[in-house]
Amino acid sequence: MNTLMKKNVLPAFALFLSTYAFSQTGNVGINTSTPNPNAVLDLFSATKGLLNPRVALTSTASPAPLSAHVAGMLVYNTATVSDVVPALYYNDGLKWVKAGGATTAAPAMNVTSQTGNYTALATDDIILYSNNTVGTTLTLPTAGISIGKRLYVSVIGSADVQLSPIPRETANNRLVSGQGNILLYTGDAASPWSIISGY
């Protein structure tokens, strides 16, 4: 065998063997000679990490910068826009999901303390009443509220608090002193609020 042939055949044979070996095992190891047989890629390092592709997502609903949602795709988002912040995200095939939890922290509740007549705001979440005056009225908002909005009202003191408009449960037109109440906005034209709990 001449020298030129040895130079061409040996590298080609080595390439063939490595391709054959990979196709037989179906996995690759980096910094390990014995990759886990259940992994297609086995990375090992005691001092280094895996650096995921860094992209600027535009929202969890949009696949951008990808052309389509691809289930299992994993990226590190670098943008703070819409409903995404810098973090690791995976794609479930329909949307991007922040790794470590799909939920974000609940927004702060808007709490107000009252001692007399009060017209609740659409943004109120909790009303703490300290009432000793008979005839005190809590006027509930009827516009600019999402159906299903809950309003928590706690009443302490010697006098109940009247409700306006009267809730669907017409027998309960007042909030009893010494009780907490949960009111639900139903959107009904005649009686837009319902008392769903008094405790």
- Residue-wise pLDDT tens digits, 24-65: 557 888 898 888 888 888 888 999 998 999 999 999 999 999
| pLDDT score at 159 | 95
| pLDDT score at 17 | 45
Distance CA(23)–CA(62), nearest Å, equals 36
Kindly report the CA angle at 75 between 71 and 76, in degrees rounded to 5? 150
Taking a C-beta distance cutoff of 8 angstroms, is the pair 177, 159 a contact?
Answer: yes
**Domain match, 186 and 132 both:** yes
Which has the closest alpha carbon to 158: 133, 127, 129? 133
**Domain match, 191 and 126 both:** yes
Instruction: For residue 83, give the amino acid letter.
Output: D
Q: Which of 102, 134, 163 is the last residue of a domain?
A: 102
For residue 175, tell me if it sits in a domain: yes
- With a cut of 70, say whether residue 128 has pLDDT above it: yes
For residue 10, tell me if it sits in a domain: no
The region of weakest confidence among 17-21, 125-129, 173-177 is 17-21
| pLDDT score at 199 | 54
| pLDDT score at 172 | 79
**Domain match, 168 and 118 both:** yes
**Domain match, 98 and 120 both:** no
**Domain match, 74 and 121 both:** no
- Residue-wise pLDDT tens digits, 86-114: 999 999 999 999 998 555 666 788 999 99
- With a cut of 60, say whether residue 1 has pLDDT above it: no
Kindly state the percentage of the chain with pLDDT values over 70.
Answer: 83
**pTM, rounded to two decimals:** 0.49
Average pLDDT of the chain, as a whole number:
86
Q: Where are the alpha helices (DSSP H) in the chain?
A: 3-25
**Domain match, 120 and 173 both:** yes
CATH of residue 117's domain is 2.60.120
Which has the closest alpha carbon to 142: 79, 191, 86? 191
**Domain match, 124 and 192 both:** yes
For residue 57, tell me if it sits in a domain: yes
The total domain count for the chain is 2
**Domain match, 97 and 119 both:** no
For residue 189, tell me if it sits in a domain: yes
For residue 128, tell me if it sits in a domain: yes
Owning domain of residue 60: 50-102
β-bridge partners, 179: 155
